[in-house]
Structure 1
Amino acid sequence: MDLFFSYLLYLIVLSTISLGIIFLPYNHKSSNSKLPPGRKGWPIIGETMQFALAAQRGNPERFINDRMNKYSPEVFRTSLMEENMAVMCGAPGNKFLFSNENKLVTSWWHCSMKKILYFPSLFDNPATQDQIKTPSFLPEFLKPEALKHYVAIMDLMAGMHIDMDWAPYREVKVFPLAKKYAFALSCRLFMKVDDPQCVARISHPFELIMAGFLSVPLDIPGTAFNRAIKARNIVHKELLAIINKRKMELAQKGNSAARDLLSHMLLEANKNGEIMSETEISTHLICLLLATHDSTSAVITFVLKYLAEFPSIYNEVLKEQMEIAKSKGPEEYLNWDDIQKMRYSWNVANETMRLTPPVQGAFREVIKNFTYAGFTIPKGWKTHWNVNTTHRNPKYFPDPEKFDPSRFEGRGPEPFTFVPFGGGPRMCPGREYARAQVLVFIHNIVTKFKWERLDPNEKISYNPSPIPAKGFPICLQPLENIY
């Protein structure tokens, strides 16, 4: 059962037991006429049911579009996850939220997410939570200047992964293999962990962590939240062993011990005065691994989906990637300059993220009353920006259901309309990392194979990233057998 439905199930059971009655949904009515138009839905659970159903059925944009059409194309009010929620719509809504980070709004995570990520000593300290979300040294590590050193490792690992898990088989399931590759790469680059058994011990519990993220925070046996807490503890134990080993290596060898994010954290954080405990470092790593667990693997999966559906686009990507491959020596790996040459391939990836975004949006908490589009958004409310208010909006993208990479040529879409990585101070710091990872994988898979979908009618659900119901099975055709 997906994370939304596990959350809803427990909420419904709890509310039924505690209240002993069945409520009827009701529209929002308030003496304050300046609140955004909308409805609260059911008591306690609000409209979370409808929100989850739309995602489960593969059209999360329906929840957004129906309310934009009914109430307002600028902002509407709903109730999600027990919170009063103002959904800011369109490019103006995105711009407003992104531009007012830490002025009118600040980042907000559901309490179950925070309790799973943070240990009790960190959960009770808001200052520590903010530091864990945005450590000062993280953006520096993920900038192109730093990432260019890791493109060759990405290329090496992508080639090894394809040779081991793809090439020996005629049929494969893309999504689980893409997740395996993305997670192994994160472990290698973030912590220099490449032992398959160690990676497996870390990766397997992450499925339970993800499943419990939006569950009701009831830490009793059998609940998704309880399983997520136990899984977090398992991961934490593994990470602490890695951290302690690295600290010993650094004490003995200094900067030459390793060149990865973990060493960077241990060395640079103290240099910048950000003294962190081992628990905090472990939490940083868990957050980063979670961020790469489903997102980039979803992009890779659906890029392959669209390339299978549109042979002409596949041929253009193949042409671009073959030109790069021919420019390399037999034992020469990709470099940062090669990534910059993959313009058309990145346009394809962008159009993939427009139609099948790896993240649906994010939430903010209102820290100061403000007025938007003539409506008052009170302090304490939550706000939500959602990619579907722009990505499939014909106002911004004509013929929005058409897969057309040319939308991203030249200057590309208008500002604040294409937002798979968010925007403003909270824009995803890993966007360049994701770009390099996706393009390196595209290069390796396209230059070796062509493929066909085995189930053209496979359903897609969102949880919250897009998930193909059957893992997106394909039939591989080695290029050497075609050309």
Structure 2
Amino acid sequence: MEEVAKLFAVLALLVLSLHFITKFLKLGNRPNLHRLPPGTLGWPVVGETFEFRRRSLEGSPTRFIQERMDKYDSRVFKTSLVGSHFAVFCGPAGNKFLFSNENKNTQVWWPSTVKKLLSQSLVSKIGDEAKLTRKLLLGFLNAEALRNFLPKMDSIAQRHIKTHWEGKAQVLVYPIIQLYTFELACCLFLSIEDSQVPYLSSLFDELVKGAFTFSINLPGTRFHRAMKAADAIKKEIKMILKKRKVNLEEKGVSPTQDLLSHLLGTSDTNGRFFPEMEIIDNILLLLFAGHDTTRSVLSSVIKYLGQLPQIYELVLQEQLEISQGKEEGELLQWEDVQKMKYTWNVVSEVMRLSPPVRGAFREALKDFTYADYNIPKGWKLLWNTGSSYKDPKLFSNPEKFDPSRFEGEGPSPFSYVPFGGGPRMCLGQEFARLKILVFMHNIIKRYKWDLVFPDEKFKYDPLLEPEKGLPIRLQPSPYT
């Protein structure tokens, strides 16, 4: 069996090699494309993938970007990652160009692994079809719709803390936070609040780990495990969908109960309803995108508040002022969250210093010129957080933790883009904001904490995570 797997791996490498040789020969025959961005494409087939991954596991993918900006060009450089040629766009100008050129010079692109895992979701749609899908999903994920779910989010956060934090002298933050973020997403998207949540959560760990790797679907590979996990999750969602259809027809549930009911009962502007597999894949996409990034952010917030007691006290004071204006047992309302301005500034600074993701992808729709370089049609394009967040010209004393950067007008345009920008801006940004603030409101009133490993390293694999799970020692707050 092992020999067969090795043979398949060798054949896969040969196929990839032939693909890139063909691509290179075609490129050489095209006029006006000889002034490519500076940089190196690294080794055949694998390019600089291993170097990028090494930096990611060190927790410093920014260093990979900065080294090449310094060596080649601070505006754009070329590299090769996971089997594709990339032009890496840097700084606010690069972000602005990519965000404002959707369906003109560029279109969204995802690695083949993601497309295979989420084949009928928004990730595979472009142009008008993508706009219609986004609009339908935003009908549930916009601020106006989510405000009705805020009390429920508060009750889930309270139940989570009571179940997993209360009475503990020490907790492992990263895996426990996942239970909160995933339960919240399952509840609002599918109305799941039972023993299915831990099972589905473990499957999602496998899916996320294999989403950004080589597309080799052989037993033992990350991608193979991710495909199996995706199939299992889709099977679970399909069973829920079948029951929900019956309940909706019998008027046994509300058509606005959750995202699933919303998608089953709402058509786009052309009167088209989503087919079942599109609903399943889009819910899978939102679960995929909506809980792991928030887990990374909340874990980083817990780390920084454990390191910076003066910041902790200011966040605590803001949250206590909100609580003091409420009756015993009264749940959070929309106006309460709007008062959490300092807390959100702290979260924003955490995302600047420790972004949960490293950027996102586009693809060149045609040959075009940027910063005096020629970008060939078909090349993959990467915008990244690392090229601007630590730039002293954009953020003075960039290594200092300073939430005041986000007061008033905040950072200059396109220098801080935690949720992307343009037509492809993150669908779940308001959902993420509410999840984070609701959790912070509940946890900081109940506990103060110390980091077991004050210098614990965070790495990207593929999202930001603490190497040891971020264990903390809890001390009950006198304000509980």
What residue identity is the alignment partner of 1:181? Y
SS of corresponding position for 1:412: coil
Partner of 2:169: 170
Give, in angstroms, the shift of residue 436 of structure 1. 0.8
Give, in angstroms, the shift of residue 348 of structure 1. 0.2
User: 2:132–2:268: 8 Å Cα contact kept in structure 1?
Assistant: no
Partner of 1:203: 201
User: 1:44–1:82: 8 Å Cα contact kept in structure 2?
Assistant: yes
1:145 equivalenced with 2:147 (yes/no): no
Q: CA distance change for structure 1 residues 189 and 304 in 2, over 3 Å: closer, same or farther?
A: same
| Structure 2: 5+ residue stretches without partners | 1-7, 18-26
Partner of 1:107: 108
SS of corresponding position for 2:386: helix
Cα-to-partner distance string for 1:272-311 (whole Å, 9 max, x where unaligned): 5233222211111110100023101111111111111111
Give, in angstroms, the shift of residue 135 of structure 1. 3.6
Give, in angstroms, the shift of residue 457 of structure 1. 2.2
User: 1:357–1:465: 8 Å Cα contact kept in structure 2?
Assistant: no
What residue identity is the alignment partner of 2:152? I
SS of corresponding position for 1:385: strand
Q: Distance in 2 between matches of 1:169 and 1:283?
A: 38
Of the structure 1 ranges 362-371 and 198-207, higher mean CA displacement relative to structure 2 is found in 198-207
1:320 equivalenced with 2:321 (yes/no): no
Q: Distance in 1 between matches of 2:378 and 2:384?
A: 20
Give me the CA root mean square deviation. Answer: 2.5
Taking the TM superposition and a 5 Å limit, the aligned residue runs for 1:118-197 are: 118=119, 131=130, 134-195=133-194, 197=195
Cα-to-partner distance string for 1:65-90 (whole Å, 9 max, x where unaligned): 00000000111111111111111111
1:49 equivalenced with 2:50 (yes/no): yes
Give, in angstroms, the shift of residue 411 of structure 1. 0.7
What residue identity is the alignment partner of 2:462? P
SS of corresponding position for 2:369: strand
| Corresponding residue to 2:236 among 235, 238, 263 | 238
Taking the TM superposition and a 5 Å limit, the aligned residue runs for 1:75-86 are: 75-86=76-87
Give, in angstroms, the shift of residue 140 of structure 1. 2.3
Taking the TM superposition and a 5 Å limit, the aligned residue runs for 1:4-15 are: 15=13
Taking the TM superposition and a 5 Å limit, the aligned residue runs for 1:355-394 are: 355-394=353-392
Of the structure 1 ranges 366-375 and 345-354, higher mean CA displacement relative to structure 2 is found in 366-375
What residue identity is the alignment partner of 2:322? I
Partner of 1:454: 452
Q: Distance in 1 between matches of 2:350 and 2:182?
A: 21
Q: Distance in 2 between matches of 1:316 and 1:266?
A: 44
Q: Distance in 2 between matches of 1:436 and 1:18?
A: 43
Give, in angstroms, the shift of residue 218 of structure 1. 2.6
Cα-to-partner distance string for 1:219-242 (whole Å, 9 max, x where unaligned): 332222222111111111110111
What residue identity is the alignment partner of 2:174? F
Partner of 2:23: none
User: 1:174–1:473: 8 Å Cα contact kept in structure 2?
Assistant: yes
Q: Distance in 2 between matches of 1:168 and 1:131?
A: 47
Give, in angstroms, the shift of residue 49 of structure 1. 1.2
Q: Distance in 1 between matches of 2:310 and 2:9?
A: 48
Q: Distance in 2 between matches of 1:133 and 1:393?
A: 37
User: 1:12–1:45: 8 Å Cα contact kept in structure 2?
Assistant: no
User: 2:151–2:333: 8 Å Cα contact kept in structure 1?
Assistant: yes
Give, in angstroms, the shift of residue 460 of structure 1. 1.1
Structure 1 length-normalised TM: 0.90
Give, in angstroms, the shift of residue 131 of structure 1. 4.6
Q: Percent identity?
A: 46
Q: CA distance change for structure 1 residues 129 and 219 in 2, over 3 Å: closer, same or farther?
A: farther
| Structure 1: 5+ residue stretches without partners | 1-9, 20-28
Q: Distance in 2 between matches of 1:128 and 1:115?
A: 20
Give, in angstroms, the shift of residue 372 of structure 1. 0.9
User: 1:11–1:216: 8 Å Cα contact kept in structure 2?
Assistant: no
Partner of 1:421: 419
1:264 equivalenced with 2:262 (yes/no): yes
Q: CA distance change for structure 1 residues 187 and 258 in 2, over 3 Å: closer, same or farther?
A: same
User: 1:11–1:45: 8 Å Cα contact kept in structure 2?
Assistant: no
User: 1:179–1:297: 8 Å Cα contact kept in structure 2?
Assistant: yes
Give, in angstroms, the shift of residue 127 of structure 1. 7.0
Q: Distance in 2 between matches of 1:445 and 1:478?
A: 10
| Corresponding residue to 1:442 among 418, 437, 440 | 440
User: 1:342–1:439: 8 Å Cα contact kept in structure 2?
Assistant: yes
Q: CA distance change for structure 1 residues 133 and 463 in 2, over 3 Å: closer, same or farther?
A: farther
Partner of 2:20: none
User: 2:75–2:91: 8 Å Cα contact kept in structure 1?
Assistant: yes
User: 1:307–1:313: 8 Å Cα contact kept in structure 2?
Assistant: yes
User: 2:146–2:431: 8 Å Cα contact kept in structure 1?
Assistant: yes
Q: Distance in 1 between matches of 2:11 and 2:107?
A: 32
Give, in angstroms, the shift of residue 192 of structure 1. 1.1
Q: Distance in 1 between matches of 2:348 and 2:175?
A: 22
Alignment length, in residue pairs? 460
Q: CA distance change for structure 1 residues 128 and 205 in 2, over 3 Å: closer, same or farther?
A: farther
Give, in angstroms, the shift of residue 199 of structure 1. 1.6
User: 2:306–2:450: 8 Å Cα contact kept in structure 1?
Assistant: yes
Q: Distance in 2 between matches of 1:254 and 1:415?
A: 48
What residue identity is the alignment partner of 1:318? L
Taking the TM superposition and a 5 Å limit, the aligned residue runs for 1:331-346 are: 331-346=329-344
Partner of 2:300: 302
Q: Distance in 2 between matches of 1:254 and 1:162?
A: 31
Taking the TM superposition and a 5 Å limit, the aligned residue runs for 1:10-25 are: 15=13
| Corresponding residue to 1:214 among 208, 212, 215 | 212
User: 1:132–1:283: 8 Å Cα contact kept in structure 2?
Assistant: no
Q: CA distance change for structure 1 residues 470 and 11 in 2, over 3 Å: closer, same or farther?
A: farther
Q: Distance in 2 between matches of 1:348 and 1:192?
A: 31
Give, in angstroms, the shift of residue 14 of structure 1. 5.4
Partner of 2:89: 88
Q: CA distance change for structure 1 residues 355 and 421 in 2, over 3 Å: closer, same or farther?
A: same
Q: Distance in 2 between matches of 1:344 and 1:298?
A: 20
Q: Distance in 2 between matches of 1:181 and 1:479?
A: 21
Structure 2 length-normalised TM: 0.91
Give, in angstroms, the shift of residue 403 of structure 1. 0.7
